[in-house]
Amino acid sequence: MLRKLLCAGVLLTTLAGCTDPEGRKCRSDADCGDGGTCNVALELCYATDTEPELDAGVCMPACAEYEACTKNGCRARFTGVAIQTPSSNALLDAGAVQVVAQLQVNETYRVTTRFPEALDFRAELNGGGSGGDFTNFSHDDAGTYSAVWTPPVVEAQVTLRASHPVPNAGVSSSVVVSVDRVPPTLTVTVPSPNVPVLDGGTVYADPNPNGLTNLWRRDQQIPIEIRTNEANLDVGSLRVALRGTDGVASASVAVTPTTTNCTALFCGVALLNLWEPKFDLFRGSMTLEVQGNDLAGNVGSTSPATPQVNVTRWKWAFNLSTGAIKASPAIGEKGTVYIGSADGKVIALSPEGSKTWEASTVGAVGSLAVGTSDGGVEPIYVATNTTNSKGVLYALSSDDGGVRVRCPGSGEHAGSVLSAMAITTFGTAPSRFEQGAAVVNNGKNSELWVVRPEGASSTAQCVLSSATFNIPEATQDGSLVADGGTFVYPTSDATIVSYSFGGSALNWETQPASQLIVGLALAGGNLLGGGVGSTPTQGALYSVPMAGSMNVTLLPSTSGGRVWSPIIGPGGILVFHGQETGGNQGNLKKYDLQSQMPSNSMFSNVGVLKYAPALGADGLLYAAPSSSGSVSALSTGDLSQQWTEALNAPATASVGLDCARSTSGAVIQGKPSGTLYVPSGGVLNAIIVDSPGLSRDTAAWPKYQHDARNTGNPATPITNCQ
């Protein structure tokens, strides 16, 4: 009868089956035979492999809420806790973190299991101490719990633990995570530049730093050093840029890790081009912009807070031991700069300012021009005058300054050389050779002399234009334009003449308003000349056709002051020139040849611009007054000043301009910078500018004697940089 009741479920609510024999008593599973299980509380066998949950009242003492009452007593309803997020070893950022845990239940008891209202979430720093607080607890009916964890502001490992709220339940789980709520500090170091010490007559350190230290040159690349002790640094996020004077940052560059002399967890270097940002100063500071964060997303800060790089345009200055520079520097194929002194020295300087050689001549050097390179060797044409006003012409070798030709071979010319040197060719192919020419003044017996280094004999190397015809004297410091075998120059009689070498007569002669002409520029078949009157307020700009015609045009609205050494811009349209206003002052002006009208823009009160400015390839103009010791960079658009710098003395010759070069003299293509050479007394100043050499427009006459070599020949390439 008992077995029937049991099998009918009267006394047992969860009995799964019955055993044989009927009503077998048991005290252990062994009493029930194979496959039988003993219900110890009832001392009866049943046939099942599960442990059913009994009525709670059966178990004595009563089971806890987290337990199930079974035939074997109280059993755990929950088997464990699984933390689903965050994962073990996760790196957590600075924000709040959603922690999610699953309270795992024994499936046998799921139907009658009641989940607690919340789990016990805790966080502890691995070194000890609270790991933060939990808020916003929630859960669902399936046993999934969540809470919002606010980590402390630390960079450390934290153990997260989720447990049943009753410790005796004995179910919990933990994960170890890394918390990084501390932004990395990126220490920025601007290294000191490697400035050479005084080398002979060359000074490399900026002589007027204006309180700035560690001045880097505008044309240099600077290795910015970054270091940090951030353990979780995101190296790929590190970028460095330079912000120029216009507030615009250059393109940012990546930081390359390095271990050299590194005492931090991370060291790196970013190579920045100082020539990239806009820099409308001669010297000043550029701001460094450093970006970077850690793997947790914290954005780094820099130390110092606003790192800067101090920048200067000063490159070097070469000091002559004696004498002053009276001739515009001439620049050779490899960027070698040739200068001459008033005491007869001709000096070759590398683009980096070191003296390559020094040669002595018999008189003050009045003009220099560089010939065509042949296998890396180029002739240096030099016009000198002795103390008794006698002239000697030279062709020196660029190799060592040795004399290739001296004219006359011994002795001196009867007169002085006051014109510029000019270079052209003579003969016909294949017997075409180069020659340097100059006007030797000797009153009514003035002559045009040429130096021909490739001449077969001494008489073929020093050649007089004509034994029967004497030409007019040249103006002091006057231009000499060489166009084929024709030479044009201003005279001391206030005329401009054209003469073909070897001829027995002038091609033409014209006189612009009884004013001396000291500078000539050629564009579009017309010569532009500056007229210099007897007083500072007398003078104008004149135009003369190159071919035959003797018509002279006084360009409208150019009168009112001495005009010195004009140059011509791209397209042969704009003329730039200085014009005196009196009182040792003057303006830099611009004139439009097409409209024959002056521009409203001018650079006022710049001083007397006796020597020609130079026009850069990027539209900047460089001028050095002869009345005040300064040099300025100007915009050709409105002649606004970009920067100005005081020099040791006023300019004593026209400026030269070259492109960026390597230490070997090779042109650095694509680098938007160059070197301006300014003679001032006995010093040649080398200044970094933002022009990659002279304007390259073939219709232009962008500097004194047309080109970097000072050839005065429109057929010569304007620059050695192409």
**Rg, the chain, Cα only:** 46
Same domain for 331 and 374: yes
Same domain, 303 and 324: no
Q: What is the pLDDT of residue 679?
A: 98
pTM of the model: 0.85
Instruction: Output the domain CATH number for residue 100.
Output: 2.60.40.10
pLDDT band at 59; cut points 50, 70, 90: confident
β-strand pairing of 216-217 with 308-312: parallel
In this prediction, residue 200 carries a pLDDT of 79
Per the domain annotation, does 420 fall within a domain?
Answer: yes
Asked if residue 219 and residue 169 are part of one domain, the reply reads no
CATH, residue 216: 2.60.40
Domain harbouring 641, CATH code: 2.130.10.10
Choose between 466 and 427: higher pLDDT.
466
Could you list the beta-strand ranges (E) of 196-257. 202-203, 216-217, 221-228, 239-243, 253-254, 256-257
364 and 380 in one domain? yes
CA–CA dist 434, 283 (Å, integer): 43
61 or 654, which is more confident: 654
Q: State whether 306 and 224 are in the same domain.
A: yes
DSSP string, 308-347: EEEEE-EEEEEEPSSS-B-S--EE-TTS-EEEEBTTSEEE
Cα separation, 418 vs 383, whole angstroms = 9
DSSP-assigned beta bridge partners for residue 685:
317, 678
Tokens 């009242």, residue located: 57
Are 326 and 452 found together in one domain?
A: yes
Same domain? For 593 and 628 the reply is yes
CA 127 remoteness from chain centre = 48
Q: Are residues 47 and 103 in the same domain?
A: no
- Of 75, 91, 115, the position where a domain reaches its end is 75
Q: DSSP per residue over 630-673, as a string?
A: EEEEEETTT--EEEEEE-SS---S--EEEE-B-TTS-B-TT---
Tell me the pLDDT tens digit for each residue of 120-158: 999 999 989 999 999 999 999 999 999 999 999 888 999
Question: Where does a domain end: 312, 328, 363?
Answer: 312
pLDDT score of 225:
97
Confidence check: pLDDT of 168 > 70? yes
Distance CA 511, CA 170 (A): 115
Helix H, strand E, coil C: the string for 616-629 is ECCCEEEECCCCCC
Q: Are residues 566 and 507 in the same domain?
A: yes
Query: Is 700 within the bounds of a domain?
Result: no
Task: Decide if pLDDT at 8 tops 50.
Answer: no
Give the pLDDT of residue 138.
95
Domain finish residue from 254, 283, 312: 312
417 token code pair:
């050389």
Q: How far apart are CA 86 and CA 159, in angstroms?
A: 11
Contact 423, 366 (CB under 8 A): no
Q: Average pLDDT, whole number, for the chain?
A: 91
Q: How far apart are the first and last CA of the chain?
A: 118
Its domain, for residue 27, covers 2-75
What is d(CA 194, CA 142) in angstroms, rounded to the nearest whole number?
A: 71
Instruction: At 619, list the tokens.
Output: 């539209």
Based on the fold, state whether residues 308 and 320 are members of the same structural domain.
no
Is it the case that residue 37 has pLDDT exceeding 80? no
According to the model, what pLDDT value does residue 1 have?
29
In a domain, 399, yes or no: yes
The total domain count for the chain is 4
User: Helix or strand or coil: residue 186?
Assistant: strand
Give the pLDDT confidence score for residue 658 in this predicted structure.
98
- Does residue 558 lie in a domain region? yes
For residue 4, pLDDT over 60 is answered with: no
Provide the pLDDT for residue 281. 97
Q: Shortest CA distance to 621 belongs to which of 522, 529, 687, 694?
A: 694
* CB 287, CB 305: distance < 8 Å: no
User: In terms of domains, do 581 and 444 share one?
Assistant: yes
Burial 222-258 (b: 16+ CB within 10 A, else e): bebbbbbebebbbeebbebbbbbbeeebbebbebeee
Q: How many CB atoms lie within 10 A of CB 507?
A: 16
Under DSSP, the state recorded for 377 is B
CA 332/CA 698 separation, integer angstroms: 19
Pick from 332, 461, 342, 431: which is nearest to 719 by CA? Answer: 332
Residue 197, pLDDT score: 80
Question: Same domain for 138 and 166?
Answer: yes
Give me the mean pLDDT over the 645-674 stretch: 95
* Residue 636 domain flag: yes
Task: Indicate the range of 110-119, 530-539, 543-552 predicted with least confidence.
Answer: 543-552
